[in-house]
Structure 1
Amino acid sequence: MADAHHDNLIITGLKNAHAMEEQALSIMRPQVKRIENYPEVARRLELHITETEGQIARLDELLDRFGSDNSALKDMALSFTGSMAAMGHTMAGDEILKNSFANFAFEHFEIAAYKSLLVLAELGGHGQATAALQANLKEEESMARWLDDNLRGVTTRFAALKESGETAKV
């Protein structure tokens, strides 16, 4: 049964997830712009950017159903920290690897957040939120799997480019 306590919990979680997805965009967009030698990574990031935009739309819909909206302050703060993290990796000689590690970790953070939100939806009797949250979770799990499956190839390509004296630029 829905009550004010559970409503507040899920609304807070949805606002946090919204800010988290804005942060994800602020991390991925600069990364994809800098990629030169890893077209498969660029294509997958572009796809996930589109997915993330859809996730934000789903979260907006859910927040609207609860009579709430996203937290502009949280969105702005996390977007800023995401941009700073992405920019910090640009100075590294192994930027593509650092980005791969950070993206893998962030995807798992998002997976945990959506799993928690699904529990809150269940506890609060908010079954109407389940489909959207499951869709977001599925996309995050797919991206995490892709990163895991492709880390060896990215690392191998990076090492080969470095060994041949070519730029290993992302």
Structure 2
Amino acid sequence: MQIKTIQDLFVHLLSDTYSAEKQLTKALPKLARAASEPKLSEAFKMHLEETQGQIERIDKVVDSVPELKLRRIKCVAMEGLVEEGAEVIEEVEKGPVRDAGLIAAAQKVEHYEIAAYGTLVTLAKQLGYKDAEKLLAETLAEEKETDGKLTQIAESGVNKKASAA
């Protein structure tokens, strides 16, 4: 797909983000199983449910703008971030150090998603897609909240346990 207009760019970025969310739905259960800290495992499970809702929200974005059609593309950035999480699972023994590594990997994902959704919100606003802007802003808020939860889990004990290990 050649990107010639801001709308083309919006479609490309939305399609890329859709792919990223789909990849994340496959990675989150693995992260939940790999975590030893119950709060972390539960956070990954909760974010899986949230991510599924975010995929549905992208579908609503597409429905809200009749001329939009998602493209079938693969988000290579998310592919790399998911691979980093897999490396933590493979290379670090289960326990607090792995949990700290899983939080780091998950926060990289959240920061990527925050950037992606922030851009999409801005483009939707520029294009006058009011419903899409609102839907995307909801997801952006959720991603920021998840990042905050991960920080809280890290600071409330995981990092201390990892330091003592």
State the TM-score, normalized to the length of structure 2: 0.82
Unaligned runs of 5+ in 1: 163-170
- Secondary structure of the structure 2 residue equivalent to 1:74: coil
Bigger shift: residues 21-30 or 62-71: 62-71
Alignment partner, residue 158 of structure 1: 162
After superposition, residues 8-157 of structure 1 pair within 5 angstroms as 8-35=8-35, 37-64=36-63, 65=65, 66-71=67-72, 73-74=73-74, 81-90=80-89, 91-93=91-93, 94-152=97-155, 153-157=157-161
Opposite residue 61 of structure 1, the aligned amino acid is: K
Kept in 2: contact 1:14–1:63 (CA 8 A): no
Query: Shift of residue 81 of structure 1?
Result: 4.1
Query: Shift of residue 92 of structure 1?
Result: 1.7
Query: Shift of residue 96 of structure 1?
Result: 1.4
Query: Shift of residue 27 of structure 1?
Result: 3.0
Higher CA-based Rg: 1
In 1: Cα distance, 2:24 partner to 2:102 partner: 12
Opposite residue 18 of structure 2, the aligned amino acid is: H
- Secondary structure of the structure 2 residue equivalent to 1:68: coil
Opposite residue 154 of structure 1, the aligned amino acid is: V
When residues 25 and 15 of structure 1 are mapped into structure 2, their CA distance, relative to the original with a 3 A threshold, is same
Unaligned runs of 5+ in 2: none
Kept in 2: contact 1:23–1:78 (CA 8 A): no
Larger RCO, structure (CA 8 Å, separation 6 or more)? 1
- Secondary structure of the structure 2 residue equivalent to 1:60: helix
Query: Shift of residue 12 of structure 1?
Result: 1.1
Query: Shift of residue 63 of structure 1?
Result: 2.7
When residues 80 and 123 of structure 1 are mapped into structure 2, their CA distance, relative to the original with a 3 A threshold, is closer
State the TM-score, normalized to the length of structure 1: 0.80
Query: What do you get for the CA RMSD once the two structures are aligned?
Result: 2.2
In 2: Cα distance, 1:84 partner to 1:106 partner: 11
Query: Shift of residue 46 of structure 1?
Result: 0.8
- Secondary structure of the structure 1 residue equivalent to 2:5: helix
Alignment partner, residue 166 of structure 1: none
Query: Shift of residue 79 of structure 1?
Result: 6.5
